[in-house]
Amino acid sequence: MTGTARSDRSAQYGLLTWIAGEAGVSLATVSKVVHRRRDVSEATRARIEALLAERGYVRPWESEARRPRQILAVFRDLAGPYTLEVVRGIVESASELNVHTTLGTTGRRSISQWLGESVALGASGVVIVISTLAEQDQHRILDQRLPVVLVDPLNAPLPDIPSIGVTNWHGATTAVQHLIDLGHRRIGMLAGRSHSLAGSARLHGYRAALAEAGIPYDPGLVRATDFDYGEALRAARGVLDRHERPTALFAASDAQALGALEAARQLGITVPRELSVMSFDDTLVAAMASPPLSAVRQPFRELGQEATRVLLQLADGKPPATTRRELATELVVRLSTAPPEAEEHGRM
C-alpha cells in the first residue's frame, strides 16, 4: 500500500470515528450505514447519513463510479485543419458523455505502444485517426479484444475492426458535378496518395463524374500529393503553369485547396474568374480563405460522436451493428467557383 493510500484510509477512519461519537453510536453501526446494511433503525440511519453528507463523505465505490471514463485518441499528427476539426469533434462529444479524452500522436509512440498504454491506463479504448495499422496490431486488437475504432484509416482494416468515415466517392462526384454544371469541361484534380482509402475514393469519384458527363479523363491534369499545403502548392503550379491549363481544380482536402489558391496567386491567375477551386473537407479555414472556398463538407462533429459512441459500446461488450459506417457529406457553395470565362467556354 502506498503512503497516499495509507493516509487516505487513516483520514477516513478518523472521520467515521468522529461521526460515531457525534451520533452516539458505535463505529460498527456507522460502518453498517456506510455499507447500506439494513439492520440499523431508520432514525439512526438518518442521523448518520446527515453527518456523512455534512462532512462531504463519499463512499469508495461511489467515488470510483463518479470518475469519468477515459479514451485515447491517437493521430498521425496534430498539424492540419482536418485533424483539428476531428479532435474537436471527439473531445466535445466525449465530454458530453462525461468521458475524458487523452490525445496522442504516432510521431514518437507507435500504435502498438498506444494500445499498450490504453491497457495500462485502464482506458475504455482507443480511437485511431488517419493512420496505417500494421497487420500485427490488427491481430492484437482482435486477439485481445481491445476496444478500438478507426476514423479514416489509410489502409483497409480487418473486417471485424470498426471504422468510420464519410461518403468520399459520392462527395467527390458531387463536387465535380458542381463544376460541370457551371460549364467547366477542363477540370484538374489535386488528389490524395493512392494508398489512402479516402484519397483513392475521391479520385475515383472525380473520374466517375467526368465519365458520366462524357468528359475524357486527362492524367496530365491530375497530381497526387499528401493532404498537405506545401506539396499541393508545387503540384498546382505544375498543372496551372502550362499552355492549356484547366479552368477548374478539385482539391481532395482544404490544405491542398489552399495550396492551389496560392499557386494561382503566384501565377497571376484570378480565382474564380480564370480558375475555379473546389475543395473537400470544409474545415474552418475554408470559409476564411480568399476567396472563401466552395467545398464538400465532412460532418466532423458527427464523426467524433459516432467514434466515441461505437468505442464505448465495444468497451461495454456490445459489438456495433456494422463494422463500417459512412456519414453523409454536403456541398457548400461559396465564392471560389464560378462559370468559366466566356471566351474559354466558347473554345470548349
Q: Are residues 275 and 312 in the same domain?
A: no
- Residue 10's pLDDT band, with cuts at 50, 70 and 90, is low
The whole domain housing 40 covers 3-65
Provide the CATH number for the domain around residue 59.
1.10.260.40
Model confidence pTM above 0.85:
no
Q: Are residues 121 and 223 in the same domain?
A: no
Q: Are residues 288 and 178 in the same domain?
A: yes
Q: Are residues 339 and 230 in the same domain?
A: yes
So what's the pLDDT on residue 344? Answer: 44
- Of 44, 65, 86, the position where a domain reaches its end is 65
At residue 52, does pLDDT exceed 60?
A: yes
The 8-class DSSP code of residue 242 comes to: S
Q: Are residues 208 and 343 in the same domain?
A: yes
Provide the CATH number for the domain around residue 109.
3.40.50.2300
For the segment 255-280, the average pLDDT, to the nearest whole number, is 98
Q: How many domains does the chain have?
A: 3
Percent of the chain with pLDDT over 70: 93
b/e per residue 73-91 (b: at least 16 CB within 10 A): bbbbeeebbbbbbbbebbb
Looking from the CA of 263 toward its CB, the CA atoms found within 13 Å total 27
Beta-strand pair 125-129/148-151: parallel
Q: Are residues 197 and 290 in the same domain?
A: yes
Q: Are residues 311 and 337 in the same domain?
A: no
Phi-psi category of residue 20: left, alpha or beta, with phi > 0 → left and psi -120 to 50 → alpha: alpha
Q: Are residues 174 and 284 in the same domain?
A: yes
So what's the pLDDT on residue 98? Answer: 87
Q: How far apart are CA 342 and CA 12, in angstroms?
A: 83
- Residue 35's pLDDT band, with cuts at 50, 70 and 90, is confident
Q: Are residues 84 and 219 in the same domain?
A: no
283 versus 130: the higher-pLDDT residue is 283
Task: Report pLDDT digits (tens) over 81-129.
Answer: 888 889 999 999 899 888 999 999 998 899 999 999 998 888 999 999 9
Q: Are residues 128 and 232 in the same domain?
A: no
Q: Are residues 116 and 162 in the same domain?
A: yes
